[in-house]
Structures are given as C-alpha cells and as structure tokens.
Amino acid sequence: MKTITRKNRQTGTRVSVIHGDDLGAEVQPGTIVWYTVCEEHGQICGHATKDVATGFAAEPLTWCEVCIAVLNVLTNSEVAR
Ligand SMILES: [Zn+2]
C-alpha cells in the first residue's frame, strides 16, 4: 500500500493520497496515476503525479464537493448572524 492519509487543516477531514493500483483503477503512465480521496465524504480526484496529488490533498476545498458545500453552509450561517 502506498496510501498516505492526513487530517486536513482547512476542513478537519481526513484526506488520502492513493496510487491507482491500490484503488483498483486502470493505471496508464502519463495520465491519471494518483488519486486524492476525502475519507469523510468519499469524493475522489485524479492526478498525473504524486506531487500534484499531494498538493491537492492539502486543499480539499478545491475538489471535494461536499467539503465545499459544508464550508458554504458554515460561511452562510456566519453571514446570517
Ligand atoms: Zn470532503
């Protein structure tokens, strides 16, 4: 297993960087090889390299739709106060 899981500072959710082999995905070099997974919401985003995937793992707010939606709810409730 090459999975790396870290708790994200922005969202408090656990985000994993996973190689396509470990996801059972079809891995073709030069295309999508690494994936970021929001463990809390099951959202998956594919990337060409581990470096890119690691970068995205630090920012689930750019690719996990549920994290984005949760943040929007929190932001809106603060505005509504
Ligand atoms: Zn999420």
Q: Residues 41-64: pLDDT tens digits?
A: 999 999 999 999 999 999 999 999
What is the structure's pLDDT at 79? 63
- How far is the centre of ligand 1, averaged over its atoms, from the C-alpha of 31 (Å)? 24
Neighbours of ion ligand 1 (CB under 5 A): 13, 38, 41, 64, 66-67
- How far is the centre of ligand 1, averaged over its atoms, from the C-alpha of 28 (Å)? 26
- How far is the centre of ligand 1, averaged over its atoms, from the C-alpha of 23 (Å)? 18
For residue 1, pLDDT beyond 70: no
Cβ atoms of 34 and 47 within 8 Å: the answer is yes
Supply the pTM of this predicted model.
Answer: 0.84
